[in-house]
Amino acid sequence: MASRGYSAAMQKLTEAQDFLSVSISDLNFLSSSILSTKKALDELQGSLRREEQTRLAADAREIALLQEVARLRVLLQEEREYSSRRERVLADVLRRLQQDEQAQSHKLP
């Protein structure tokens, strides 16, 4: 009887040991899965940070370009105004020269 009890106890101990081995194996698999998931999440977070930095740099370039466009528009408008004034002055000078020539031609006998 003692050997039967010993045998039953050994059987239970073996079953418990097998159960623990399977549980440890499952825990190791879960731990590995968790570490892999954490690594993937860290990589995604790094990618998001890089994308955010890229977006911020693009936004800064866009703002700089818009400012440059505005500056160039102001310069173009100033050039147009200057050109218009210059053309008026030149037309006025030409008209005066023509008037002077006509006056000179009328004075000559």
How many domains does the chain fold into? 1
Q: What is the pLDDT of residues 27-60, one digit of tens each?
A: 999 999 999 999 999 999 999 999 999 999 999 9
The overall pTM is greater than 0.95? no
**What's residue 109's pLDDT?**
58
Distance CA 12, CA 9 (A): 5
Locate 76 and state its tokens: 């173009």
For residue 89, tell me if it sits in a domain: no
Owning domain of residue 67: 1-80
For residue 100, tell me if it sits in a domain: no
Distance CA 78, CA 70 (A): 12
Distance CA 8, CA 50 (A): 62
Distance CA 50, CA 56 (A): 10
Q: What is the pLDDT of residues 77-109, one digit of tens each?
A: 999 999 999 999 999 999 999 998 888 887 755
Distance CA 23, CA 16 (A): 10
**What's residue 71's pLDDT?**
99
